[in-house]
A and B are shown apart, each in its own frame.
Chain A
Amino acid sequence: MKEYTQKDAPLYEAMINQRENPIVHLDVPGHKGGRGNKELRDFIGKECMRMDVNSMKALDNLCHPISVIKKAQELAAQAFGAKEAFFVVNGTTAAVQYMIMTACKDGDKIIMPRNVHRSAINALVVTGAIPVYVNPGTNKKLGIPLGMSVEDVKKAMDENPDAKAVLVNNPTYYGICSNLEEIVKLAHKRNMMVLVDEAHGTHFYFGENMPPSAMSAGADMAAVSLHKTGGSLTQSSLLLIGENVNGGYVHQIINLTQTTSASYLLMVSLDLARKNLYLNGREMFKKTVDYADYAREEINKLGGYYAYGEELINGNDIYDFDRTKLSVHTLDIGLAGIEVYDLLRDDYGIQIELGDLGNILAIVSAGDRELEIERFISALSEIKRLHGKKPTGLFDHEYINPTVIASPKVAFYSEKEKLPINESSGHVCTEFVMCYPPGIPILAPGEMITDEIVEYIRYAKEKGCSLTGTEDLKIENINVLK
């Protein structure tokens, strides 16, 4: 087999070759290059349909890669500085779950920040692992959850020396980083694995002057959402492992739940995104940071808005800040982030990533042009002029330390009954209650409901926070252990 370098894309090249030497397809997919579904073909394009193929000898097989997919994964591992890399086609949600399933068996403890993505807690339901939560700090003014302080992680480790792993969310959605290198040192001293949900951190591997990536910090596993800022197709992702992790075992874990019909469109997008990042990433992310820095400066000139950046760094729960993130605090113009989010879309035709009670977040990338950036800034200026009002009080939230009574798995699968929330104190919850902001679960399956929590839910509702997670969409009733 040919020697590949980072300038190659083995899977892409094999697919080109396949396209140039068409064969008769008496296999799946049944649309046969689009002939079997013309409306879809006309909508998404002929080439796209022709390249939506099934695994075959020339194109390798993700379940057991031996040729071009294997080579493509090896190049990805090299590009990201990992021992091995796995293409993931079930989303980064799956990659996070593979990490937890690799590290933990039924009953094992895992240390994680309370503001983990729900995919991580769902993985606990699947594996039966028991969470030990660490309080992410919260910025009171902005109302956003931060990273974990080293001190809090160390305390959790000392109290739970039998924990198998630590999960770190790095960077957070808002661009906040924890002190990953120090957490790795502490964990490895205690034989704990470090798993990093790096969904928003692809650029840490390629940009200049970025916070350290999981692999460079010595973490054991990382789930990297290449599709978020790396340019691959939505739902494609990478799972990276470090020196001390058994790749064969990880591969088995992946195959427990991963599709046997992996999409070649998703996989080739990972192959080409990796090549592009390796060759052009530095320049792309420089442009991204320049755009974000410029926008921050201009937005802060508008007055009222606060587009935050590196000045937040405090060496503790904001150990570092991801400058590609463009978050703007809106409460001082008297508007909730979600209101600004809606106005941007409805009145100005600008779709941003999220709006919460106090903030909006725009994702900027090298794919943007000055036009988009200028429009965003000008639209914010207009929203302030036309809709700005006197600021009102902010939702004030205190972190409530959860009491874990049963594993999320046990709670989730147990017999349950439905109770009105205000009568549920003293029972064990079997579902989630999430609250935005600050995007930290109030309750997860297996946790004790207390008077304090019932009061918190009432207060959050009154303040207009968005509550989600329960079976009852109105969040009036909650399922508890019978």
Chain B
Amino acid sequence: MELWFTENHTDNVKFSIKINRQLVSKESRYQRIDVFDTYEFGRILTLDGFLMLTEKDEFIYHEMITHVPMAVNPDIKRVLVIGAGDGGTVRELVRYKTIEHIDMVEIDKEVVEVSQEYLPFTASGLSDSRVNIHYADGLKFVRSRENEYDLIIVDSTDPFGPGESLFTREFYGNCYKALTDNGILINQHESPYYNQDAKAMKNAHGRIKSSFPVAMVYQMHIPTYPSGHWLFGFASKGIQPVKDVDFDRWNSLLINTKYYNTDIHKGAFLLPNYVKKMLNE
């Protein structure tokens, strides 16, 4: 018997992973949640049939979404994480002793429950005493906050589904308001490669640019995401992500990482010409 998980990366491109067995499948109020054991990528989580993470390459995503802003401003004390029900982002954040408070806002409680049961490798950080989990709509949560966070990380699904509102101009504007003067917004920024992803990427960039004086993107390689070429957004009220960063200070923290290092940090903001062109369109 052969069992395969297949995700359409476009209408004409498929990506398939051979499944060993299915561990759980449930329909929450918001989406379908599945966890599989695979031969190549270890345990994987899918939402509505879209691959969210694999045991084998999640470290790239979670390290790059957290250590980049933490290196830019190691004095970050209060963090808001939106989405991220699998816990991987929080797992990286709690490695910083200097962070005092983390609010995690996930709309779907069942994603967190499934992760806690089946994905201990990412969910491990959720039990840290500094972490407060709120099961709420991200857009609504951030609306009433003002000057409260040094860092907001938007670890969302694609803009087609429960994550839709996290790609809107009003959301980015509300984030601006919720951030302190030194605040940083990091967001899952889709991919520049396939047309549909690229369109979402350009839209998101345009909207962030209209709310933040500094709006840049950085890239990394995530083998199991469509095309493998993936972007995160970096936005702030003034802080630049490479210039003025004290990289020695981060290195002195001696945080052991598998993907991130300060050279990658600098290089990640150097973009291919076709991506630069898209961002300027």
Contact = CB atoms under 8 A, between A and B. Distances in A.
A371 interface: yes
Contacts of A348: 168-170
B170 A371 contact: no
A386 B173 contact: yes
B164 interface: yes
B165 interface: yes
Interface string B138-166: 01100110000000000000000000110
Nearest to B210: A347
A26 to B, nearest CB: 40
Nearest to A301: B144
A377 B170 CA distance: 9
Interface string A360-378: 0000000000110011011
A349 B203 CA distance: 12
Contact of A347 (B139, B140, B169, B171): B169
Contacts of B169: 347-349, 379, 382
A299 to B, nearest CB: 11
Contact of B165 (A375, A381, A382, A385): A375
A293 to B, nearest CB: 15
Nearest to B168: A375
A370 B170 contact: no
A371 B143 contact: no
Contact of A374 (B165, B173, B177, B210): B165
Contacts of B164: 371
B177 A378 contact: no
A458 B177 CA distance: 42
A270 B143 CA distance: 40
B173 A385 contact: yes
A371 B173 contact: no
A377 B168 CA distance: 13
Interface in A295-312: 298, 301
Chain B interface size band reads 10 to 19
Given A371-B164, A374-B165, A375-B165, A381 B170 contact: yes
B37 interface: no
B137 interface: yes
B174 A374 contact: no
Contact of B174 (A301, A370, A378): A378
Contacts, number: 43
B222 to A, nearest CB: 27
A382 B137 contact: no
Contacts of A298: 140
Contacts of B210: 347
Given A348-B168, A348-B169, A374-B165, A381 B174 contact: yes
A212 to B, nearest CB: 35
Interface residues of A, number: 16
Nearest to B107: A370
A348 B210 CA distance: 11
Given A370-B137, A385-B173, A377 B165 contact: no
Interface in B231-254: none
A275 to B, nearest CB: 27
Interface string A297-331: 01001000000000000000000000000000000
B181 to A, nearest CB: 16
Contacts of A370: 137
Contact of B177 (A347, A349, A385): A385
Given A347-B169, A382-B169, A375 B139 contact: yes
A378 B173 CA distance: 9
A381 B172 CA distance: 12
A28 B164 CA distance: 44
A61 B112 CA distance: 58
A131 to B, nearest CB: 45
Contact of B139 (A301, A349, A378, A386): A378
A374 B165 CA distance: 8
A386 B171 CA distance: 13
A301 B170 CA distance: 17
Contact of A377 (B143, B173, B177): B143
Nearest to A378: B170
Nearest to A371: B165
B177 A379 contact: no
A381 B144 CA distance: 9
A374 B141 CA distance: 10
A377 B174 CA distance: 11
B138 to A, nearest CB: 9
A200 B144 CA distance: 33
Interface in B252-276: none
Nearest to A376: B170
Contacts of B173: 378, 382, 385-386
Contacts of B143: 377-378, 381
28 contacts: A301-B144, A347-B169, A347-B210, A348-B168, A348-B169, A349-B168, A370-B137, A371-B164, A371-B165, A374-B137, A374-B139, A375-B165, A375-B170, A377-B140, A378-B165, A378-B168, A378-B170, A378-B173, A379-B169, A381-B143, A381-B174, A382-B169, A382-B170, A382-B173, A382-B174, A385-B173, A385-B177, A386-B173
Interface of B: 137, 139-140, 143-144, 164-165, 168-171, 173-174, 177, 210
Given A378-B170, A381-B143, 8 more contacts: A301-B144, A347-B210, A348-B170, A349-B169, A374-B140, A374-B165, A378-B173, A382-B170
Which 8 pairs of residues, A with B, have the shortest CB-CB distance?
A378-B170, A382-B173, A379-B170, A374-B139, A382-B170, A378-B143, A374-B140, A378-B139
